[in-house]
A and B are shown apart, each in its own frame.
Chain A
Amino acid sequence: MFAASFDYHRPRTVDEALKLMREVKDARVLAGGHSLLPAMKLRLASPSALIDIGRIAELNGIRAVKDGVQIGALTTHAAIASSDVVRRVCPVLADTAAHIGDLQVRNRGTIGGSLAHADPGADYPTIMLLLGATLTASGGKPRDIAAQDFFVDLFTTALKPGELLTSITVPPTGAASAVYLKHRHPASSFAVVGVGLLVEMRSGKFSDVRISIGGVTVTPVRAKNAEAALTGQAPSEENIAIAASVVADALENPLGDTYASGGFRVHLATVMTKRALTQLAWKAR
């Protein structure tokens, strides 16, 4: 566990960080360090330099904005889990953050680091896709990226070289109910499968259904067929079963490892979607 040597920079402002990102070759941005440092210690990553954004105050914090809640990229999972604003505006996000890794991970790991790393087993990508969050990047011209466009491939995002994820804006869940279910890997605690569900009911029927699934494919995906099968339908056991049966449509080329094969992950996603729907349908009654 001994990393190769590297230079270390600690910018105080986003502008300083962006300047370093432009100027230092083969550098990596260090946030909470929970993915990058282990990779460096195993020599799976050997950046020439680290740009530690950990002291940039403007990247940290949670505030209510008119279209939801804005969360600085450096905000820790623990801060999100315990934030009154998040819990009021978007409780499912607070619940999700509260169940990431363990206490030490939640105290150090950051939302921006997790999203920019885009691990398929991470929880935030699935939730951001579910909630239709907007990710804001600086560098070049500041721009907003919709969650559905942000996750491109395994460990690959829409961020361009020189761009830094600065904040995430999550819309309020409002009258909708949402839940995130996770099948934890027994060793790593990452999501083998994570299912995010958001439903809104009107006159006893599903008026809005969103299902997002992480852990199974290289990026989280929406189970569009299942969503369509439920929209406008009553939350009956039968309708839920029909929807669950088409969850797999969205899960092409599933990932597998020694713990869970791709096929089993698809099965878990199906069962967990059914359970999430049953849970929220029950609550809505």
Chain B
Amino acid sequence: MASRILGSAIKRREDPRLITGQARYTDDFVLPGMVYMSVVRSPYAHARIRGIDSSRAAAMPGVLGVFTGQQMKDAGFGPIPCAWVVPASDTKTPPYPPIAIDTVRYVGNAVAIVVAQDRYQARDAVEAVEVDYDPLPVTVDAFKATQKGAPQLHADVASNVCFHWKVSGGDVEAAFRDADVIVKDHIINQRLIPNAMEPRAALAQFSSASGEVTLWSTTQNPHIERFLLSIDTGTPEHKIRVIAPEVGGGFGSKLPHYPEAAMTIFASKMVNRPVKWTETRSENYHSTTHGRDHIQDVEIAAMKDGTITGLRARVWANLGAYLSTAAPGIPTILHGLMLSGVYTIPNIHEDVFGVFSNTTPVDAYRGAGRPEAVFMVETMVDRLARELKLDPVDVRRKNLIPPFQDGYTVATGLVYDSGNYEGALTKALQMADYPKLRLEQAEARKKGQYLGIGVCTYAEICGLGPSQVAGAVGFGGGLWESAIVRFHPSGKVHVMVGISPHGQGEETTFAQIVANELGVGVDDVEIMHGDTDQTPMGWGTYGSRSTAVGSGALMGAIKKIKEKATLITAHLLEAAPEDIDYADGKFFVKGSPDKFKTIQDVALMANVAWNMPKGVEPGLETSSFFDPPNFVYPFGAHIALVEVDVETGEVALKRYVAVDDCGKVINPMIVEGQIHGGIAQGVGQALYEGAVYDDQGQLLTGSMMDYAVPKAENFPNFELGMTETLTNVNPLGVKGIGETGTIASTPAVYNAVADALAPLGVKTLNMPLTPERVWRAIQEARS
């Protein structure tokens, strides 16, 4: 029975409330006396603020106050801290005032806030705040911003270079000196807008009587939010309660600690009322963090037979105008260390320049750093295959790390946990019937049809991660997780966890784990998360860590429950504890399975405590903290089939095969759901999405009328397969699955389009592969 629960595709318990409108998001909360905040935002990408006249706005109906950055500073609110300062990179952390005080540095930068009785009054008053700007020169491109004569954003950051980080392994100079062939590319991994369905919101309630602050917030990590608020708001941590109610997707964009959270707290203090702010979609596009935005110069060295001997890259990573919470860690630790991919590339060197520009701050976006690494490696492998006239699958096979179970050290120094890359590739090729696909492609070309086949084999680093490593790489927090398991007298269970899922389904999967391990029904378990007053400290949900790390804590607490239950059972059955065994919800005397107590029997006795063993405390509640010994490294192989209309440049995705390995699968339906969404977002980057700024820093793709998020009609049915290679990093052998689809699908689809266009001589293509770009690339190749 037990084994059926783990690995079973039971329906998500989260869904009924979500699809019937009973879920409560931050914006749904209404408190007595609540008023609304609206933010005055800069229309300029770079300007000095000469003055702010709020007198007209302040006199408008319903307005309780108009406040500036200086007032916020005077009230004791500090700059927004950056929580990830990567060592050995000379990182500059210029001040990031929550509301600009003398200079605005991107379109959307907050300049003042208005608090009013209703949202319309607040918005009207925003229009009436008169800001006198003195426009300054603008720079938006990460490479150009570092060049001589570029406008400077921050006084102490020369050439706008926030940091210069390096990673090296082996002897890359020798590899390039001795190579048979060197292949180069200049890759633009474009800027993306995360587009969570729920925009950001914050509702702050300050109690002047107790000095306590309660913040309802659209955060992926309420405990980190509380910790950082204690730094910049001046409110001690024990006086802050952060609640993340239902959160409608984040994809990393709700990981950062944002100025607006501090602003609502400040506003609540100023007007002595609860203050709510909910961003509009336009605000979301301009002031919620963006993702990616790399300029990469990359080259690989190889031998004639396809053996890759070296990889060298220089990367300019656009950080936007200010350092968001995790920004420096993404193009460095989460990107540069993954440059080996799934290959035995022995020699690697990369220079990464983190660059400030007059654009919206850039932070994590689904995959965060790994897509920028995997895309680089995987498209270069295809480039090499074309150069050597080899099948891209053969080149991959030539370089794949052989199967391993107990760790494999790559050139950048990471130790991958476990992997069988060949196995996943073989399965994907079988599912796609690769040889037949190649024949179909050849036939189609004779008829003037351009089919392309794209392969991506990937591994990624997630399940962040050991806290000791977090400290070593400059992350300002820990990366362990926690869980409390509490049995009630009737045998029902509450579990409190430090993670904060917002769509990933851990309320279901964690209940499956408890049911599987302790013999209670799945519906007998309630998972509580997202409230710093009701859940134990934990570091939140991002980096595909919730199950990989969180389940370790849960398993630890379950183990302690079993230990205590064993003592109680032994006492009740008058046996020695070492003679008690456990199976399927029953604690029994070894050799006498009819002499047993169920977990429910034990829970009742522990709670009433009428007859407890000597020295054993009443109650059946345990807690556990889990710090993993390593990251986890899920992997897989994806294959895309596209058809390119060479007359119009349109790309149609015809088939998509994905084989992913996330170790032990707890709920295959939830795993598949994560993969589906991930593929869609990754294909979005390949074909549709891209944030575009003009030279003046105006966001030209400022709405959903211009920024193309893919639609269901753009996709074929996904053909999914799985392999199961356990990890020994956590008790269940699970790896993260939240980001793999996004990481793998962008290069798979890009490689497919490049493959389709190769016979036409197309060499360069930049994402998104819109019809015009594809068509122009064909025209250039022909001329």
Q: Which residues of A contact B (CB under 8 A)?
A: 1-5, 42-43, 183, 185-188, 257-261, 264, 267-268, 271-272
Contact = CB atoms under 8 A, between A and B. Distances in A.
Contact of B688 (A4, A186, A264, A271): A186
A260 B772 contact: yes
Contacts of A264: 771-772, 775-776
Given A261-B772, A272-B648, 17 more contacts: A1-B281, A1-B282, A2-B120, A5-B124, A42-B703, A43-B127, A186-B711, A186-B770, A187-B704, A187-B705, A257-B700, A258-B706, A259-B772, A260-B770, A260-B771, A268-B771, A271-B647
Nearest to B710: A186
A183 B706 contact: no
Interface string B673-717: 000000000000000100010000000110111111111001000
B647 A258 contact: no
Nearest to A264: B772
Interface in B738-782: 770-772, 775-776
Contacts of A5: 120, 124
A188 B705 contact: yes
Contacts of B714: 186
A106 to B, nearest CB: 15
Given A1-B281, A4-B124, A267-B775, A187 B706 contact: yes
Interface string B637-650: 00000000001100
Contacts of B55: none
A2 B123 contact: yes
Nearest to A42: B282
Nearest to B707: A187
16 contacts: A1-B281, A2-B119, A2-B120, A4-B127, A185-B708, A186-B688, A186-B708, A186-B711, A187-B707, A187-B709, A258-B700, A261-B772, A264-B771, A264-B775, A268-B771, A272-B648
B430 interface: no
How many chain B residues sit at the interface, stated as a range, is: 20 to 34
A125 B621 CA distance: 70
A271 B646 CA distance: 11
B713 to A, nearest CB: 10
B208 interface: no
Contacts of B647: 271
B280 interface: yes
B59 to A, nearest CB: 16
Contacts of A187: 688, 704-709
A267 B120 CA distance: 45
Contacts of A183: 648, 771
Nearest to B687: A186
Contacts of A188: 704-706
Contacts of B127: 4, 43
Nearest to B714: A186
Contacts of B772: 259-261, 264
Contacts of A185: 705, 708
A271 B708 CA distance: 23
B441 to A, nearest CB: 23
Contacts of A3: 120
A2 B118 CA distance: 11
Nearest to B648: A271
Nearest to A263: B772
B705 A268 contact: no
Contact of A259 (B124, B648, B703, B706): B706
B705 A1 contact: no
Nearest to A190: B705
A113 to B, nearest CB: 17
Interface string B704-733: 111111110010000000000000000000
A19 B281 CA distance: 37
A139 B623 CA distance: 77
B134 to A, nearest CB: 25
A4 B120 CA distance: 7
A258 B692 contact: yes
Contacts of A42: 282, 703
B770 A259 contact: yes
Contact of B648 (A4, A257, A268): A268
A283 to B, nearest CB: 20
Interface string B280-308: 11100000000000000000000000000
Interface string B103-147: 000000000000000011001100100000000000000000000
B726 to A, nearest CB: 41
Sort A-B residue pairs by CB-CB distance and give the 9 closest, nearest first. A186-B708, A187-B708, A2-B123, A264-B772, A188-B705, A1-B280, A258-B692, A271-B647, A258-B700
Interface string B80-106: 000000000000000000000000000
Nearest to B692: A258
Contacts of B123: 2
Nearest to B123: A2
A87 B775 CA distance: 36
A249 to B, nearest CB: 20
B448 to A, nearest CB: 14
A187 B648 CA distance: 18
Nearest to A121: B705
Contact of B701 (A1, A258, A267, A271): A258
A243 to B, nearest CB: 16
A268 B22 CA distance: 47
A42 B706 CA distance: 15
Contacts of A257: 700, 706
A267 B779 CA distance: 12
Contacts of B692: 258
A123 B119 CA distance: 36
Contacts of B771: 183, 260, 264, 268
Contacts of B706: 187-188, 257-259
A187 B707 CA distance: 6
Interface string B503-543: 00000000000000000000000000000000000000000
Nearest to B772: A264
A179 to B, nearest CB: 17
Contacts of A268: 648, 771
Contacts of A272: 648
Nearest to A259: B770
A194 B753 CA distance: 26
A209 B273 CA distance: 69
A5 B710 CA distance: 35
A2 B123 CA distance: 7
Contacts of B770: 186, 259-260
A190 to B, nearest CB: 8
Interface string B579-617: 000000000000000000000000000000000000000
A187 B701 CA distance: 10
Contacts of B708: 185-187, 259
A272 B647 CA distance: 10
Nearest to B199: A1
Nearest to A193: B648
A185 to B, nearest CB: 8
Contacts of B700: 257-258
Contacts of A258: 692, 700-701, 706
B659 to A, nearest CB: 28
A271 B771 CA distance: 13
B119, B701, B706, B709 — most chain A CB neighbours (10 Å): B706
Contacts of A271: 647-648
A188 to B, nearest CB: 4
Contacts of B280: 1-2
A4 B714 CA distance: 37
B61 to A, nearest CB: 10
Nearest to A38: B705
Nearest to A260: B772
B710 to A, nearest CB: 8
Nearest to A43: B127
A5 B118 CA distance: 13
Nearest to B122: A2
A261 B704 CA distance: 19
A215 to B, nearest CB: 14
